[in-house]
Structure 1
Amino acid sequence: MEGYQVDALDFLLKPINASAIERVLSKYLLIQPKFESFLIVEDHMGKQHVLELDDLILVEVNKRELRLVLADQDLLIPGTLARFKESLDQRFVAPHRSYLVNLNHVESMGKEEVILSSGVKVPLSRRSAKSIQKAFIDHYKGSAFYD
């Protein structure tokens, strides 16, 4: 019964052999959601950039200009936050109306801010706090231990 409560994918009986592990891992790879790992954006000069989504830490909007903060650079492109969010997957959330953050880069959350692995602090609106906290917990559920 507990297996259904925790969304168990399968079970292994001891002694565990390599073929059983391979069977379970293959099953997992078949059912896991598939997402594009890259995005192509165009800057103000018309130059196209290929972005690894894992490297995209933060998106900030100022009027109709987006600042994309990547692991190794910042990039400015024209656009709106709502339109840009449509091209991203569920690991990107909006803690504030001017920001999108990659949950893979969230180190901690407070009552009024989200702290990223780079040390950057992003404001957390009261209106978004509960849904962002839930997304953060859901994102790491099963891959991290928490109290």
Structure 2
Amino acid sequence: MKIAICDDEKIFREQLKNYLYQYYKSLDVVIEGFSSGESFLTVYQSNPQAYELIFMDIEMETLDGIKTAKKIRDFNREVILIFLTSHLEYAMDGYEVDAFRFLAKPVSQIKLKVALQDVQNEINRNKKMLIKDFDKEILIKYRDIVTIEAQNVNISIHTMNDFYLIRKTLAKMEEEVKGTMFYKPHRSYLINLGYIMHYTNKLITMENGDLIPLSRNKLKELKDALIFYVKICGK
């Protein structure tokens, strides 16, 4: 996950960056800071899909946050924008550019945590993968996948009601879903943490009825993954 902070106050940028690193901890997150809308757009225009989340100060000199956001929307309508402001009366302008959230300065860590949980849920809702199922191409949302199982040179993808067999290695799939809601409890499986019903030290029961083996000595790791999932997604 790549995050941008665009704010002309260096102290605030560093403080917010520290908050974000503390929150995400072990998650693979890259955070980049920019001191102006111009400097951000110079980088952004070369790769508009690079960032999943942008924190934008509304009150910046020369090119303010709203004008910067309008230019961002010319390139990318989907990226999540959170506006930062010391004057909430400016917040209404943010709806013109589909702002996801407004946070008042100085930023409350509690409100930031809630916002980040909502961001992760939004990302999880919208992330999709394209798979080939025989002669059809199908878009599947990550949130709908319950389990992924390695089967020789193929993998089987299970949702609550469907099953797909595609030619791909589990290692490749693991790389694709890295940093999302998936966990690897066994060398042959990936599971969606949001669909776990219950587990023992040997077996995980999923909501669709799949029974997934839990490798020896992975119980604590699974518990930690669930705690982290609840923290990040708020459920």
TM exceeding 0.5: yes
TM-score, with structure 1 as normaliser: 0.70
Supply the distance in 1 between the matched residues of 2:156 and 2:174 (Cα, whole angstroms): 13
Are the counterparts in 2 of residues 109 and 133 from structure 1 also a CA contact under 8 Å?
no
Q: 1:1-147 to 2 correspondence within 5 Å?
A: 26-27=102-103, 28=115, 32-33=119-120, 34=123, 36-43=126-133, 45-88=134-177, 89-141=179-231, 143=234
Deviating 4+ runs (over 2 angstroms) = 31-36, 127-130, 141-144
Stretch deviating more after TM superposition (50-59 or 32-41): 32-41
Structure 2 spans left out of the alignment, 5+ residues? 1-18, 24-90, 92-100, 104-114
Please give the secondary structure, in 1, of the residue aligned with 2:208: coil
Please give the secondary structure, in 2, of the residue aligned with 1:72: coil
Supply the distance in 2 between the matched residues of 1:105 and 1:66 (Cα, whole angstroms): 19
C-alpha distance after superposition, 1:3-40 (max 9, x if no partner):
x9x97xxxxxxxxxxx9xxxxx53426x9354552111
Shift of 1:121: 1.5
- Residue matched to 1:22: none
C-alpha distance after superposition, 1:80-127 (max 9, x if no partner):
101011111431011011110001111122110111112321000014
| Number of aligned residues | 123
Are the counterparts in 1 of residues 160 and 207 from structure 2 also a CA contact under 8 Å?
no
| Structure with greater Cα Rg | 2
Shift of 1:128: 2.9
Please give the secondary structure, in 2, of the residue aligned with 1:32: helix
> Aligned letter for 1:26?
F
**How much is the aligned-residue C-alpha RMSD, in angstroms?**
2.8
- Residue matched to 1:12: none
